[in-house]
Amino acid sequence: MSATVRRTDARMADGRELFYFDDTEPYASGGASRAVPDTRDLPPVQHGSTMRFDVLTGEWVTIAAHRQDRTFLPPPDECPLCPTGRGSEPSEIPAADYDVVVFENRFPSFSQHPDPDVAPAVDGDPLWSQRPAVGRCEVVCFTSDHKGSFANLPPSRVRTVIEAWANRTAELSALPGVEQVFPFENRGPEIGVTLEHPHGQIYAFPFVTPRTAQLITRAGAHRQRTGRDLMGDVLDAERKSGSRIVLDGERWTAFVPAAARWPVEAHLVPHRAVPDFAALDDDERAELAVMYLDLLRRLDRSLGELSQLPYIAGWHQAPVHTGRDLTRLHLQLFSLRRAPGKLKYLAGSESGMGAWVNDASPERIAQRLRDAGGS
């Protein structure tokens, strides 16, 4: 972890772990402590998730019925992600202020303490394998400012978020049963966000996700055929073409993929083949903090709107045990807004068959993002 960021560990009233990542004084140097007791009277966290294997697709489906009761769009004075003292009730964060906070989700899809009495098969039929959903889900609060956004953070605070992602990736990857760690942010009610406070999540999956499994299969076939790295070849080809490049730095490049699915989409890829956040060096982390902010701000300006653009920012990392040399850390950032006031709704052919149709050309998307540069 960077010498300018200090981690403080704490426990919540129901036993969940919480981590403060501080870059401001007197906390960053240890001159003061964020470890404030959680005074709430909380019931135990439910861990009822199971996974069922879909024999038709070869994919695991997680059943997490307890998440039906999770918090949904509370009023600002009842926000569970604001510091305690700013609202009418104590929040998930006991401290009166914070820089960046990570804590265990109260409504997790995956847990290190699942139900041990899960039958190995649904209805006793071996056709449908079933097992506990072992893993972990964490919440990442990017700022204590309820009305803020990731794009409005200073680069120094983004660097703190990156340090938190790296720290949590390393520790979650070491947990029993974890196969892949996925940090992501959903922004905007159009995406389905249930809490307005700027935040993201980290899922520690007990399996390699379908998208990553497909990428590893494609990358493995490419290496066998050419002896080269597929993602490296894609990056080199995009930089050589230049027509879809949005930002090109010393260590990172942002581009719109040649086969973009969404009306606004960009990938941010490191030049060096690193598997995850924990493997990034200091220079790569420093440049990422600046380039990621630039890309997010271009996204907000790309359609000429005054409001913040809804988006999903997914950080794809190599699996913990499988195919780590076949893929690398990269961002997929996209919005479902196709024009001011208009959303892209998936057609039946897209939702039902996975056959995508994009109404915007990738080259035009890239041009809009380049034109959206500036302060």
Residues known to be catalytic: 199
227-230 contacts, C-beta under 8 A, 24 or more apart: 229/273, 229/326, 230/326
Token pair 């772990």: residue: 17
Closest by CA position to 41, among listed 111, 98, 90: 90
Distance in angstroms (rounded) separating the CA atoms of residues 181 and 173: 7
Count the neighbouring beta carbons within 10 Å of the beta carbon of residue 222: 18
Closest by CA position to 235, among listed 279, 278, 274, 267: 267
Contact 114, 132 (CB under 8 A): yes
Q: Which residues of 71-82 are buried (b: 16+ CB within 10 A; e: fewer)?
A: eeebeeeebbbb
Q: What is the CA radius of gyration of the chain?
A: 21
Sign, CA dihedral 223-225-228-230, equals: negative
Tokens of 123: 């209805």
Tokens of 91: 């929040």
Tokens of 256: 């719109």
Strand, helix or coil at 368? helix
Tokens of 346: 């998936």
